[in-house]
Structure 1
């Protein structure tokens, strides 16, 4: 379904970041010095942040963002107090701090401490970790949670370099989205430097009982000791992925590509924090079937970290190109069949969301100007945008498209761009050099049109033919254990579950579960897909395992749809009981989203 909308909506400023109060167009922070102490007892960070800013206009007030931050005082570099005031904006954006900097100052020192309620930080007790001996802390700054643990201009438009000194309790390791030294200091004081400008949502920290092992000459894994070997084995192809990515988009600009595998409460599959990508342990399936997320976060090193979205409306520029780029890496490392399978599964997710998402939300630019930017993270900013990039490749031919892609990344490296910046660039490049293959109306229809263009057919893979045949047999009455499942991969099983009828009898569900042991499946993706089918059809035997799953895993991709399925199916009492049990283990940002989504009062 499409619309005739071929131009952007004009009732807002497409260049304004509606999710930051910062006056980056006048006084723009470009460097941050962080000096903080990690206090697990008080569950707070405390110390100073020094903001270095450029003056673009003659203004005497520097405006920064904060949410649930406590600012003790603000001074210049010489310790002289500066006047400041705090204004509440709204619960989503938090507060804005207005600092009187006169007409000469270009640095301010903010003395502050965080709240235990900071949405960008999760404090885990020792009992909530794998090792059960030491506490754990990790951040999640995207999209606008950096302001809850650092006072700064929290906008992707304000790219910053930073230095950091972090003091933690002895025996705990601190890592950040910067250069990390595998050697533990004896005094508990860790120092970091990021000399390349990054968007503020890529500022990251983790503190815990962390071991390290290399996976290649410029990559390695940090995680709890008990998970290290499994993680290294699962992600051993990282160096091969880096080499493939470099062959497409040029040299890797960040030095090292390390990863940290976090506790299960991490709310995302991965987070592309430069030099230290954050990963969920749900990727460790034992067969490398889910490692495309590693490729995805690596791909962000070019599309997202080098070339960034200027506002959260423009998220598709990060995620669409990265999702496409991920598929190219998977194809080169694991083969064409694997890449096709993942592309078809991706398209299936998009088709599912098309059926439930209001039309106005089905454009590439996210309709979030005056709303929670978390709503920008949907299948349209990821998968529709990826389909658009795939179509660009198809129209231009792979060789010509690869030339464009490399030129695009190099042209905008270390800058933040809007949708309209991309459109203008495409008009000057693709539409000039390949005007016979793509028109401006087709370009605008992809970007601003609702749903998918009428001409788009979507990907398919003959590898799914055997699944379609088995599915048809099962629906016609063949017992599950009589189906031919030879050489099925995880993606075949995901496809099978996604193509089951909406209504499946209890007997058929029991037959499937007895034959294939879906309940409690070791692959988190397959388990989630199965639980959705089971809940939708009121298959009560899964409820104990589903409860355990929702209490053990805090990844929003799994948690949100399963709670929604419980709600739609009428499991209201069960939902309340499961959520009350699971909620304390979820990341604070996910707690806030689920409280709103489920309209449940959080239990304390």
Structure 2
């Protein structure tokens, strides 16, 4: 018998936030690079929603030194292992009167939410570096808290670091503050715990607008600021679509290459990978994506990791709108085509039962929710809503949706109820309840779905036809191609190519030496499946240098599928120590399998 799930329950948290919910914390920690440890205390303030006399907290590999009340009286507590994925549950006896507890603790050097870099792993090579990655459930590895999107929190933080370094957090950061080793932060808007973030290193700052700027290592600052100089224009477009920006500032930090994501939408300080800095702004849609999360994801959040599509689908659509307004309709169409290409690949390679918008991860790894269905199938759904309603009517719906659920976490079912009360009443002649349910709960793509098109790709299709019919690469018409044309070209090449064809492509277009990580990764996949050994030295260097999961996982998988297991393992053994702990955790499982 299939298990019946309570879709209001977050199965990836052991906290009792529906009984006693933490709403604020005061953090005081010291960063010790020698010990690779955060140590200090956190005071959790909670609301009582029931008569429960226990406060249940999520932890992972934390050393709990003491638990006290406001008067420093010891409280009875118990720390028990739940499982490897969820970590531990800290149960604190809070009686019937307390609404604050103090937890004295320190982190493990192996904390999955923290990466400690030695100086030689940084650009400057002089100072160590620390950064966090809390999403999806790793905040509990560096702060004991109720680690669920349902428990939004405000916070104050005091962070003590070595005096030559700067600390920044997902809060209001002041670049003018003196580097005295002690930094104070305040977040006055309630945020989900997976958006808690910290970074410490040799950081410089440059403004990109009156309310935006870049933090990064000094040696990368000018390149990063130039690449992301359109941030303010993006903010203005986003506000015109979804209303006033609620977070005061939109600063970004460009992290070392081991950062496992393209970007992370931490409020007031979005984290970015340096692989976006291509020198031509061709990859800055990630900046637009993380900015778009300021509305869809940070304001309106998923209640559980099953509901991730509510964050990523709407944000991927919203990103496309920003790109269209700031750059061009052609670029927006091309990016939509690339999205659909990724989706087609996952449709062909995944189990049909997993091809719904809600991710079936209640009892599994929440990282598995980050797939092409929660991003690109969900985005195609939102694009179809716009097409059915018309852009003007859909924009009204979207703005009202964000305003209605601002600063709350919702489930898929909450969204469906809202859509039935708004979309189906106001626009019942344009979309039916059956069609709405088929998009959200149905597998694959709806039978009536029409794939996106772009006339801009006709020239690429012609070049592909010419190449596959035997025309030499140097005779192909590739004038005025954008990065997205090249991505499409690489992903649409035949699965099987000869060594002579691969030599011809690489000699003519120098794919192996590309400085654009997206193109390089797509080329590597073509080369690996055809066992083209001439890329192996560059591929090894790339996998050792870059820790972005979007590139790393598919490349190792491609190596395994091609029967190059020993080479894949040899590269991984060399590269593993440079990857973020959360990525190591996933790749260890991959190689065990």
TM-score, with structure 2 as normaliser: 0.99
The CA distance in 1 between the partners of 2:3 and 2:280, in whole Å, is: 49
Say yes or no: does 1:281 pair with 2:274. yes
| In 1: Cα distance, 2:486 partner to 2:220 partner | 26
Q: 1:252 aligns with which of 237, 240, 245?
A: 245
Deviations 1:68-112 (A, max 9, x none): 111000000110000000111100000000000000000000000
Partner of 1:152: 145
Equivalences for residues 415-430 of structure 1 within 5 A: 415-430=408-423
In the TM superposition, 1:572-591 aligns within 5 A as 572-591=565-584
Shift of 1:183: 2.1
Picking from 558, 579, 582, the partner of 2:551 is 558
Quote the residue 1:82 is aligned against. Answer: 75
Q: Is the 8 A contact 1:564 1:598 kept in 2?
A: no
Q: Where does residue 324 of structure 2 map in the other structure?
A: 331
In structure 1, the partner of 2:310 is: 317
2:260 to 267, 278, 288: 267
Shift of 1:185: 2.6
Q: Which residue of 2 aligns with 1:5?
A: none
Check conservation: 1:173, 1:184, Cα contact below 8 A.
no
* Structure 1 CA distance for aligned equivalents of residues 47 and 27 of structure 2: 18
What whole-Å deviation, never above 9, does each CA across 1:507-560 have from its counterpart, x for those lacking one?
A: 000000000000021000000000000000010000000000101110000000
Aligned equivalent of 2:428, options 414, 417, 435: 435
Instruction: Specify the alignment match of 2:99 in structure 1.
Output: 106
Alpha carbons 2:31, 2:38 under 8 Å: kept: yes
- Equivalent residue in structure 2 for 1:394, among 384, 387, 390: 387
User: Which secondary structure state, in structure 1, belongs to the residue aligned with residue 512 of structure 2?
Assistant: coil
How far apart are residue 197 of structure 1 and its match? 0.1
Moved >6 Å (runs of 4+): none
**Mapped partners of 1:525, 1:319: distance in 2:** 20
Within 5 A, what are the aligned runs for 1:299-378? 299-378=292-371
- Within 2, Cα distance between the matches of 1:383 and 1:185? 44
Separation in structure 2 between the aligned mates of residue 338 and residue 363 of structure 1, nearest angstrom: 28
Counterpart Cα distance in 1 of 2:69 and 2:180: 29
How do 1:165-314 and structure 2 match up within 5 A? 165-314=158-307
Contact 2:153–2:193 (8 Å) recurs in 1: yes
Aligned counterpart, 1:30: 23
Q: CA deviation at 1:186?
A: 4.2
**Gapped runs of 5+ residues in structure 2?**
none
Which of 487, 499, 504 does residue 492 from structure 2 map onto?
Answer: 499
Residues 407-556 of structure 1: pairs in structure 2 closer than 5 A: 407-556=400-549
User: For the Cα contact (< 8 Å) 1:202–1:274, is it kept in 2?
Assistant: yes
CA distance in 2, matches of 1:186, 1:228: 18
- Residue 162 (structure 1) aligns with: 155
Which deviations, in whole Å up to 9, do the C-alpha atoms of 1:190-234 show, x marking residues without a partner?
Answer: 000000000000000000000000000000000000000000000
- The alpha carbon displacement at 1:360 in A equals 1.1
Distance 1:398 1:571 in 2: 48
SS at the partner of 2:511?
coil
The answer to whether structure 1 residue 381 and structure 2 residue 374 are counterparts is: yes
CA RMSD of superposed structures (Å): 0.8
1:414-434 deviation digits (Å, cap 9, x = unpaired): 000000000000000000000
Measured in 2, the distance between the counterparts of 1:520 and 1:251 equals 43
* Aligned residues of 2:299 and 2:407 also touching (Cα < 8 A): yes
Distance in 2 between residues matched to 1:521 and 1:92, nearest whole Å: 38
Higher mean Cα deviation, 575-584 or 510-519? 575-584
How far is the alpha carbon of 1:10 from its aligned partner?
A: 7.7
Note the residue ranges of structure 1 that are not aligned, 5 or more in a row.
Answer: 1-8
What do residues 12-60 of structure 1 show as CA deviations (whole Å, max 9, x unaligned)? 0010000000001100000010000000000000000110000000010
User: In the alignment, what sits opposite 1:93?
Assistant: 86
Partner SS for 1:519: helix
1:3 corresponds in structure 2 to none
Contact 1:143–1:201 (CA under 8 A) maintained in structure 2:
yes
| Alignment check: 8 A CA contact 2:169 2:269 kept | yes
Contact 2:170 2:197 in 1 (8 A): yes
Secondary structure class of the residue paired with 1:230? helix
Of stretches 179-188 and 55-64 in structure 1, the one that deviates more from structure 2 is 179-188
Per-residue Cα deviation, 1:217-259 (whole angstroms, up to 9, x for no partner): 0000000000000000000000000000000000000000000
Counterpart CA distance in 1 for 2:468 and 2:451 is 25
What CA deviation, in whole Å up to 9, does each residue of 1:102-156 have, x standing for no partner? 0000000000000001000000000000000000000000000000000000000
- State the distance in 2 between where 1:294 and 1:354 align: 27
Partners of 1:457 and 1:518 in 2: how far apart? Answer: 32
| Aligned-pair CA distance for 1:490 | 0.3
**1:184, distance to aligned residue in structure 2 (A):** 3.9
Cα pair 2:549 2:583 within 8 Å, conserved: yes
Q: Conserved in 2, the CA contact under 8 Å of 1:323 and 1:386?
A: yes
Task: Name the TM-score, length of structure 1 as normaliser.
Answer: 0.97
Distance 1:205 1:361 in 2: 34
**1:17 paired residue among 10, 13, 16:** 10
Once the two structures are TM-superposed, the CA of residue 570 in structure 1 deviates from its matched residue by 1.2
